[in-house]
Structure 1
């Protein structure tokens, strides 16, 4: 009798290949991609009508995904074939609509002021209402908050020096303010009448990046200051903020049941508000459609600047780290559940903040290459991105992979790394306390 061959201890149930298993992460097969995507949750019993509706919804969602995939891949191919223009017909159309929004605000303000100056009180009431709407529609320039997250130049000269080097390398200006927050992200923007620059660094993200990946992050963020992204500009950005504020202001108020004349008045007011919301939402969607391509081109250009500063490999690694956000959430929950050591006052005793950041960095460093590959493939499958304004992360990584190898233009010495870490120590203690509490 022939002895049956024994299957491997962890064999793929689909193709039989032996699997590498890390109990911290899902099992999957890189050969046939078994269990690549998480299984859909079980649905309760459905009636035939509910099943038909669910099938229609699935088909509609599949068609939407196919449309989005075709659009983003077409944009990706256009970038690999020829340089992208920063000013095209869509940009001019969006700028025109933004101009109309600003013109409407100005006309409403001047008309309301004229009505308030009228002698008749009903006209004055209309003028006051117009001024209230004008306040909602006012251009929002933003402001630089002076709170605990702000790291001043005098307190972090090494970090500011690195930021200034990165900004100069991409053709930008020195940064005015650096903020250190607890988010797993980073951003760059301008605020106020003087358009002062603000760089926001999420300390958890900064901690798990390598030194060259941190330079790539700075290059990408400062790249937004020079890459021609109209959505971040004063003209179009304030118009988008105005429309968003108007939409929120005109959202119908859903209250409990009412009676008589109050109910009639509420129905009329709700209908008018609903129509205004639909109109404003239509304009917002139009602007979004007109600026999506230029905005995503700007993201690709910021990635290219990051690669020039820190190398293509460092920029790819930085982008791949964004795919690990769910892993960060899991690690954070695990660290929150771990009892924190108390300070005994003995020399050399580490405070809890140091333990937190060390544990976070160690657990990220221990993520196996197979899990990173799973997340890359999953990003390509579901078109995952940082947010809806960014291109899919896998396409950004792929575009950087086609760049020729070149030496980074900005590097960090061991002394500079140590100086920056020392400057961030107070922020680490504060952010760790916020995350763990």
Structure 2
């Protein structure tokens, strides 16, 4: 696929400041440094900082959440950062955790009570009541808390298959005082995560291969350090009691959402009335469940964000502050990585393919011409090299845009992670730490060899139509 055309130069509006030209900002007339691969924006006034929203909002207006709830979330996020930057740890987080534990206990109590009632009906009830008890027991099975299971399949690397990668993860875990990882798996996401599953609480480390390939050696250690730090950073939401309650509530809400009902011929009015009544009941129940989920999110957000900041600190302890900051900055390049993959996929799909008939009619090539043709690597073979080159070539101006966009979207971050720009700022305010864990060239080569089959498999899945 050919390279994308350069974006059109901005046209100065009628009320543009004096001196504005197609090569200057249409709002403040500052010179624009355009890169044909990325959005054109103005670092001085932040014109076109968020291109997809630029036509609908005033980009010079400071970021302001649209709703009171979003404004409250942004204010709490900023306040927590200020507290941690100043070395303050308030007791509000502990009170919130106790309240969240009480709500989780109520959720588990409801499930247990329903289970006990179903058993009582099955044992002591009449035939109609036993039918009701069986139905209630089926509901309990549907609404039971999910604790996860150890993954299996081609994405999982066992210790015998990847001794070098497990060895590095074990050294990072030992440095942080965490348990050795139980299972490592790789997927196609530009992300990473740690989950604790099963009754025996096995830790499952998921490494997104696109992100892994975008990092250097020390940044990869920082990524391992951040994820393994979730075992020791005090994040109560990852505990069995609270995590199971949140999962159960989410599943209850999904089942309680009102749905359309089919109307049988001859009973259209009856089913319409019954549907209205059932939807009203389900709507009220779903609203209550959603409000409970919002309450748990509100009660655990501060502790969760604080745990993420602590995980960043532990990542810096393992890999160095510089590597931890580099890893966080790489997380902002998710969009650039997706653009490159889409470009390679489109180019691969647009390549002409010789049909069987055409191949039969084609003249056989001479041995000399066959010998002169060097074998060409497939897009899947070269995807990771192209991805690394593309992300390494992202100019500082685009990286600055992504960082400022993170600051503008501070109220839109998910409830489990603070904004990236605040995480970077907090690491910058703390004393720099040297690397405690490093890798040798031989160890790095061994890890690359262990991941080689997965690199090809995931590359092919990313480029598949």
Partner of 1:254: 260
Q: For residues 371 and 191 of structure 1, what CA distance do their matches in structure 2 show?
A: 39
Partner of 2:348: 339
The equivalent of 2:59 in structure 1 is none
- Give TM-score scaled by structure 2 length: 0.84
Shift of 1:425: 0.4
- The CA deviation string for residues 107-126 of structure 1, in whole angstroms up to 9 with x for no partner, is 21111111011241121122
Q: 2:77 matched to 1:72?
A: yes
Q: Does 1:18 align with 2:27?
A: no
For residue 314 of structure 1, what is the aligned residue in structure 2? Answer: 323
* Aligned partner (choices 417, 426, 432) of residue 405 of structure 1: 432
Structure 2 segments unaligned to the other structure (5+ residues): 1-18, 57-62, 354-369
- Report what 2:10 is aligned to: none
1:40 maps to 2:53: yes
Residue 238 of structure 2 corresponds to residue 238 of structure 1: no
Q: Which residue of 1 aligns with 2:224?
A: 218
Query: For 2:342, what is the secondary structure of its paired residue?
Result: helix
Give the distance between the partners of 1:143 and 1:79, measured in 2 at CA: 35
CA shift for structure 1 position 287: 0.9
Do the aligned partners of residues 347 and 153 (structure 1) sit closer, same or farther apart at CA in structure 2, a change above 3 Å counting? farther
| Unmatched 5+ stretches in structure 1 | 1-5, 44-57
Name 1:361's counterpart in structure 2.
388
Contact 1:179 1:199 in 2 (8 A): yes
**Residues 315 and 114 of structure 1: CA distance in aligned 2, closer, same or farther (over 3 Å):** same
Matches of 1:307 and 1:339 in 2, distance apart?
40
Q: Is the 8 A contact 2:297 2:415 kept in 1?
A: no
Kept in 2, the 8 Å contact 1:136–1:242? The answer is no
Match of 2:215 in 1: 209
Distance 1:159 1:83 in 2: 37
Superposed CA offset, 1:74-115 (max 9, x none) = 011111223537961110011111111112211211111110
Q: After alignment, is 33-42 or 180-189 more displaced?
A: 33-42
CA distance in 1, matches of 2:259, 2:339: 38
Residue 88 and residue 433 in structure 1: after superposition, are their counterparts in 2 closer, same or farther (change >3 A)?
same
How many residues were matched structurally? 417
Once the two structures are superposed, the pairs formed by residues 7-156 of structure 1 within 5 Å of their partners are: 10-38=23-51, 40=53, 61=66, 63-84=68-89, 88-156=94-162
2:450 and 2:85 map into 1 onto residues whose CA distance is: 41
In structure 2, distance between residues paired with 1:349 and 1:385: 45
1:436 aligns with 2:463: yes
CA contact (8 A) 2:150 2:197 kept: yes
Aligned ranges 1:248-287 → 2 under 5 Å: 248-255=254-261, 259-287=268-296
Residue equivalent to 1:229: 235
Give the C-alpha shift of residue 67 in structure 1: 2.6
Structure 1 residues 411 and 293: CA distance shift in structure 2, 3 A: same
- Please say if residues 74 and 411 of structure 2, whose CA atoms lie closer than 8 Å, have aligned partners that are also in contact: no
Q: Are the structure 2 counterparts of residues 381 and 307 from structure 1 closer, same or farther at C-alpha, using a change threshold of 3 Å? A: same
Q: What SS does the aligned partner of 1:61 have? A: coil
Taking a change above 3 Å as real, the CA distance of residues 40 and 263 of structure 1, as seen in their structure-2 partners, is same
Residue of structure 2 in register with 1:54 after alignment: none
Matching residue of 2:173: 167
Instruction: Assess, with a 3 A threshold, how the Cα gap between structure 1 residues 384 and 414 changes in structure 2: closer, same or farther.
Output: farther
Change in 2 beyond 3 A, CA 1:59/1:394: closer
User: Aligned residue for 2:417?
Assistant: 390
Q: CA RMSD in A?
A: 2.6
Deviation string for 1:326-346 (max 9, x for gaps)?
11221111010123899x999
Q: Relative to structure 2, which stretch is displaced further, 301-310 or 102-111? A: 102-111
- How far residue 261 of structure 1 moved from its aligned partner, in angstroms, is 2.1
1:169-208 to 2 correspondences below 5 Å: 169-208=175-214
CA-to-partner distance for each residue in 1:367-416, whole Å, 9 max, x for gaps? 11111011111111121776332111111111011121221111122111
